[in-house]
Amino acid sequence: MTGLSENTLTTKVAYARDIKYFLEFAVNFYPYFTEKSIKDITMDDLEQISAEDINLYLFTMKDQGLGEKTRARKKSAISAMFNYMINAQRKLTYNPVSGSTKIRLPEKDFVIYLTREEQERLLNTIRIGTGLSKGQLAYHEHYKVRDLAIVFLFLDTGLRVSELNSINVKDLSLEDFTVVVQRKGRNKIQMIYYSDESAEYINDYLNERKARGDAFHGDDPLFVTLEGNRLSVREIQNMVKKYVAAALPDKMHSISPHKLRSSFAMEFYRASDKDILTLQKRMGHKSILTTNIYAKAADAEIKESRNWRNSN
C-alpha cells in the first residue's frame, strides 16, 4: 500500500486552506492580533484565543451564508491545528474549539445508492459495452476485465476509493479471499473478505496481466494502467462515471465510487437481517452513528413500502 494516498493529500490541502482562512479572520477581527499578518502570529497569540473567539468565527461564517457542513469542516480543521500544537508540539495547553458552540448537522434519512437491478445494469455495461460510444468501445476490450474487477469489488466489499487505489499485489490473498487495506483517517490495517464472485473477476484480471507478460512483485500495485502505472483515484472516479453514464444516464451526476460503497452498505444491511454491528466493521467506521445512516435509510424505505400491494 502506498504511504500517502491521493485522497489523503487532498484532505491535507483542504485543511491547510481552512486553517489559513481562520488565521486571516483572526488578524482582522481579534483585538490582540492588531496590526499583525499571519506570518507574525506567535504561540502566545494563539494561546489567547478563547471559545468565544471561535464562536465569533463560526457565527460570522453563518452570516456569510456558509452552510453547516462547510462550517463544521472548517471548525474541524481549526481543532486539528490546536490539537497538533498541544499533543505533538507541546506548545499550547488548551484547545478553544472544544468549548465553542456545537454545529448540529441535519441527520440524513436517505442515501443515494444503486439497487440490485441497477447494479446489474452497470456490470453488464462493463461486460459487453452497452451504451458506450464508438470511441470508448475501441478501447473497451483492453479495460473491461480490470474495470469489472474494480467495480464489483466496490459493490462487494464497500471499500473506499482511496483504499482500493492503494492495494498492492502482496495485500491480496487468493487462497483466503481477503485483501488487506489501510483504513481512512487512522493507522489501522484491516483484513477485508471478498466473495467467490469477486475472486473470479480478480483472477481473470490477474491472468490477463500475466498473459501480457506482467511479472508481479509484492509492492506492485494491483490495479494498473496498460503502461503498468497505479491507477489514480481520479482515473478510477472517471472510469466509474463513464460506465454509469452509459448504463444509467439519469444517475450519471449522482453515482461515484463512494455511492458504490453506499450501495454495498444498503444491500448488506438488508441481506444480513439488519446486522448493523457487522456492517460497521465491514465499512471501517469508528462510530456506529456513521453506520446508522444506512440503517435509517433502509428502515425508512421499508416503512414507505408498507402499501406495496397497492403499487400495481
Residues in the chain, pLDDT under 70: 1-9, 105-109, 185-187, 302-312
Task: List C-alpha distances in Å: 242 to 153, 197, 255, 289.
Answer: 17, 23, 11, 33
Measured CA to CA, the distance from residue 158 to residue 259 in angstroms comes to 9
Q: Which residues are paired to 181 by β-bridges? A: 190
Q: What is the mean pLDDT of the chain?
A: 88
Q: Which of 15, 7, 17 minimizes the C-alpha distance to 76?
A: 15
Closest CA to 293 of 106, 67, 70: 106
Which domains, ranges and CATH numbers included, belong to the chain? 6-99 (1.10.150), 116-304 (1.10.443.10)
What does the pLDDT read at residue 106?
63
Residues 6+ apart with CB under 8 A from 148: 123, 126, 127, 201, 204, 205
263 with 114: CB under 8 angstroms? yes
Give the span between the Cα atoms of 118 and 247, in whole angstroms.
8
pLDDT in tens, 198-233: 999 999 999 999 999 888 887 899 999 999 999 999
Catalytic residue numbers read 160, 184, 258, 261, 285, 294
pTM exceeds 0.85, yes or no: no
Q: Residue 17 has what pLDDT?
A: 92
Q: What's the gap between Cα 9 and its chain centre?
A: 13
DSSP 213: T
What span, in angstroms and rounded, lies between the C-alpha atoms of 35 and 64? 24
Per-residue pLDDT, 4: 46
| Span 144-196, pLDDT tens digits | 999 999 999 999 999 999 999 999 999 999 999 999 998 876 568 899 999 99
Retrieve residue 213's grid coordinates.
507478460
